[in-house]
A = this chain, B = another copy of it.
């Protein structure tokens, strides 16, 4: 299927200044044959006066080699600047020691948290984590998934694009174990880790109610599933108050700072009595714009006149002048969990049963709701 792509044959590198030994024994090349920058184990073996098997043992089972021999080999390795060929290694082993992580959007700190968590677990297991930037592009996403499969990585982590409804389901994982992060649409054919947006919305509203707020406003886009779920959670919390608290909803086009500023204008345009005493923003950037525009020129005091809480603990919002309370989605934990699931599948393919883990967000109270 992928036959079209051509390999863009990398031209052999000219032997630089350092020429280890001539080509390996079978150097009978009748073709323009000028290269071999990197010495192989055979070169090392010859230099050290041992066999390749011994060189391999020095690398992989040092204990099995007598110290004097080992030293000779190590000296030869250093002298030649030998770097073991991981490609041949992987080929022989049938699978590499690398994990691939396909990311939908590197500019969102949520995903970077996942990377950090996943990397931690991967490193503990002696594996390396390589990242691929899908950049919101479905085609790139698929390209990188294919690449990782071809390269026979040990496993794949994926934060998928939201998956527009009209397109079919994502192709199932073929040969390589895969774990989905933050993909509520993930089926039973893979492991997945998600976050509980409903509960997060509940916690946010609960926090506002518990700190004395009674007129709540939820601001947030209507078309985004996660945001809608957060609203549902808030609704539930309000429902528990038997009418003591009201919850109004103000849809926004998107969830960026400009949208937040527009919400602020709407609020400020109202009479004092009609204003909410707390706002739940569907996302931190929305909350950021909101806080900026509400507080500018001392129009409203936050949190005294009005409290604001965001969602997702986005790094960009950390630098708000008035620190914004938020819900942390446990991105790092999500990365750790996903990597653990993946490792479990990689190691025990036999009796692995796919699971779906749902993580709970947690409240991060800051000045925008509880003051200084």
Interface of A toward B, CB cutoff 8 Å? 1-3, 5-17, 19, 22, 29-38, 58-60, 62, 74, 77-78, 81, 83-91, 93-98, 100, 106-107, 109, 112, 115-116, 119, 125-133, 135, 143-144, 146-147, 149-152, 154, 172-175, 177, 188-189, 256-257, 261, 285, 288-289, 292-293, 295-298, 315-316, 319, 321, 346-350, 352-354
Contacts and interface: CB of A to CB of B under 8 A. Distances in A.
A108 to B, nearest CB: 11
A17 B352 contact: yes
Contacts of A293: 321
Contact of A125 (B8, B94, B125, B177): B8
Contacts of A5: 126
Contact of A321 (B88, B292, B298): B292
Interface class of chain A by DSSP? loop
B316 A296 contact: no
Nearest to A31: B126
B97 A7 contact: yes
A101 B30 CA distance: 23
Contact of A151 (B17, B37, B87): B87
Contacts of A295: 296
Contacts of A100: 130
Given A17-B354, A83-B174, A106-B115, A319 B321 contact: no
A133 to B, nearest CB: 6
Contacts of A3: 58-60, 62, 74
B128 A93 contact: no
Contacts of A126: 5-8, 31
A298 B143 CA distance: 51
A221 to B, nearest CB: 17
Contacts of A84: 2, 150
A349 B316 contact: no
Nearest to A33: B347
B32 A97 contact: yes
Closest 7 pairs between A and B when the two form their complex, measured CB to CB: A86-B150, A131-B131, A13-B349, A292-B321, A35-B349, A10-B95, A38-B175
Contacts of A77: 1
A12 B94 contact: yes
Contact of A349 (B19, B147, B257): B19
A337 to B, nearest CB: 19
Contacts of A91: 85, 87-88, 91
A310 to B, nearest CB: 13
A18 B174 CA distance: 11
A31 B98 CA distance: 12
Contacts of A350: 11, 14, 19, 22, 35
Nearest to A132: B130
26 contacts: A3-B74, A10-B346, A11-B350, A13-B172, A16-B188, A17-B352, A17-B354, A33-B348, A38-B174, A81-B175, A83-B150, A85-B91, A86-B152, A87-B96, A100-B130, A106-B106, A106-B112, A107-B112, A128-B144, A129-B133, A130-B131, A257-B319, A288-B319, A293-B321, A297-B297, A315-B316
